[in-house]
């Protein structure tokens, strides 16, 4: 059984009058210790049991947003450019046409060519890998040539800085072909991307990481991305070892949870293999998801 069996290709809900679709672009398996940072294994393995290589399954969930003036795709999974060794190390299963991302977009009722805006939370390979694809001739090209691609300006600069600590995560073939095609729209700080869709800086995982809010008729959803990858990471100190600035993540998360509780946000979890979204429980001791 492949780890994503049981995960529907897509599922949908609404935020006010905007329809959103959780798009399952496959799964990856990452080291459980790295996923939970300083949290001791006896604590995290009770919530998420690891395999014999100490890896835990993670969704590659993207979000398709039917905003009033544009069809927006938030993040793009891993893509089809990596070799077998890479796919084995990271336990990636994302086969499809050309990947499971595109299959899931069709499952939600659209063609990949319908996407107007590709929004990247950051440029790590499991978020921007599907920004480009390799064709039958071996040429790497943008996967959504009609779309404009949006990321924080300084995230792109940071991805290009390629030091020893970060370069395994930032693969130039995921973002340079987008640049060569002139498709980037680079934003700084909070920005309205299209009516109803806003990016908000949530630094820590990377210095220029951003989350995405969808707002309509007073309702708000927030695609958290790696500031809180799974529901197990909701408690403030449960922060990934991958994070470059964990204390900054802590404050990003604290600010988000305050707002999420005050305004009853629908929180979308990108890497949780079971739970695509949920709301915080105002009656919980600390922060926890509402059970409903
Ligand atoms: Zn990630």
Distances (CA, A) of 94 to 37, 130, 134: 26, 11, 15
CA of 203 to the centre of ligand 1 (A): 13
Distances (CA, A) of 286 to 203, 237, 241, 246, 292: 22, 11, 22, 19, 18
CA of 164 to the centre of ligand 1 (A): 19
If you average pLDDT over every residue of the chain, what do you get? Answer: 96
Indicate whether 276 pLDDT > 80: yes
Helix axes 153-161, 172-180, angle to 10 degrees: 130
Residue 291 CA to chain centroid, in angstroms? 23
pLDDT digits over 114-145, tens only? 999 999 999 999 999 999 999 999 999 999 99
Indicate whether 148 pLDDT > 50: yes
What is the spatial distance between Cα 238 and Cα 182, in angstroms, rounded to a whole number? 39
CA of 71 to the centre of ligand 1 (A): 22
CA of 135 to the centre of ligand 1 (A): 25
Per cent of the chain over pLDDT 90 is 97
pLDDT digits over 19-48, tens only? 999 999 999 999 999 999 999 999 999 999
CA of 57 to the centre of ligand 1 (A): 12
Residue whose structure tokens are 């290709």? 9
Non-local CB neighbours of 181 within 8 Å, separated by 6+ positions = 141, 142, 145
CA of 226 to the centre of ligand 1 (A): 5
pLDDT digits over 208-237, tens only? 999 999 999 999 999 999 999 999 999 999
Predicted local confidence at residue 236, as pLDDT? 97
SS3 of the chain: the string is CCCCCCCCCEEEEEECCEEEEEEEEEEEEEEHHHHHCCCCHHHHHHHCCCCCCCEEEEEEEEEEEEECCEEEEECCCCCCCCCHHHHHHCCCECECCCEHHHHHHHHCCCCHHHCCEEECCCCCHHHHHHHEEECCCCCEEECCCCCEEEEEHHHHHHHHHCCCCCCCCCCHHHHHHHHHCCCEEEECCCEEEECCEEEEECCCCCCCCEEEEEEECCEEEEECHHHCCCHHHCCCCCCCCCCCCHHHHHHHHHHHHHHHHHHCCEEECCCCCCCCEECECCCCCCCCECCC
CA of 93 to the centre of ligand 1 (A): 15
Q: Residue 175's pLDDT band (boundaries 50, 70, 90)?
A: very high
What is the spatial distance between Cα 186 and Cα 56, in angstroms, rounded to a whole number? 34
CA of 17 to the centre of ligand 1 (A): 29
Hey, what are 245's tokens?
């600035």
Indicate whether 7 pLDDT > 90: no
Q: What is the mean pLDDT of residues 195-206?
A: 98
pLDDT digits over 42-80, tens only? 999 999 999 999 999 999 999 999 999 999 999 999 999
CA of 210 to the centre of ligand 1 (A): 12
Non-local CB neighbours of 243 within 8 Å, separated by 6+ positions = 37, 204, 205, 226, 249
What is the spatial distance between Cα 45 and Cα 202, in angstroms, rounded to a whole number? 27
CA of 271 to the centre of ligand 1 (A): 7
CA of 205 to the centre of ligand 1 (A): 9
Indicate whether 2 pLDDT > 80: no
Predicted local confidence at residue 1, as pLDDT? 45
Predicted local confidence at residue 5, as pLDDT? 59
Q: What is the mean pLDDT of residues 183-192?
A: 98
């Amino acid at each position: 059984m492949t780890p994503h069996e049981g995960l529907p290709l897509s599922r949908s809900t609404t935020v006010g009058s905007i329809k959103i679709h959780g798009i399952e672009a496959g799964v990856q398996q990452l080291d459980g210790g790295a996923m939970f940072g300083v949290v001791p294994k006896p604590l995290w393995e009770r919530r998420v049991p690891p395999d014999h290589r100490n890896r835990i399954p993670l969704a590659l969930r993207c979000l398709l947003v039917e905003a009033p003036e544009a069809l927006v795709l938030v993040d793009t999974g891993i893509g089809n450019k990596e070799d077998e060794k890479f796919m084995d190390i990271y336990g990636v299963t994302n086969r499809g046409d050309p990947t499971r991302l595109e299959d899931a977009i069709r499952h939600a009722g659209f063609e990949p060519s319908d996407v107007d805006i590709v929004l990247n939370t950051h440029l790590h390979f499991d978020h921007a890998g599907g920004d480009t694809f390799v064709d039958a001739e071996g040429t790497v090209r943008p996967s959504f040539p009609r779309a404009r691609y949006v990321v924080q300006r300084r995230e792109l600069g940071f991805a290009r800085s390629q030091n020893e600590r970060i370069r395994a995560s930032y693969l130039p073939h995921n973002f340079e072909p987008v640049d060569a095609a002139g498709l980037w729209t680079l934003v700084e700080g909070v920005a309205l991307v299209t009516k109803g869709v806003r990016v908000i800086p949530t630094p820590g995982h990377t210095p220029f990481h951003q989350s995405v809010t969808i707002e309509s008729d007073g309702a708000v959803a927030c695609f958290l991305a790696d500031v809180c990858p799974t529901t197990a990471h909701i408690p403030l100190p449960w922060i990934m070892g991958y994070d470059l600035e964990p204390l900054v993540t802590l404050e990003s998360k604290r600010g988000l949870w305050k707002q999420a509780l005050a305004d009853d946000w629908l929180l979308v979890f990108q890497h949780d293999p079971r739970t695509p979204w949920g709301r915080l429980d105002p009656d919980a001791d600390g922060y926890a998801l509402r059970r409903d």
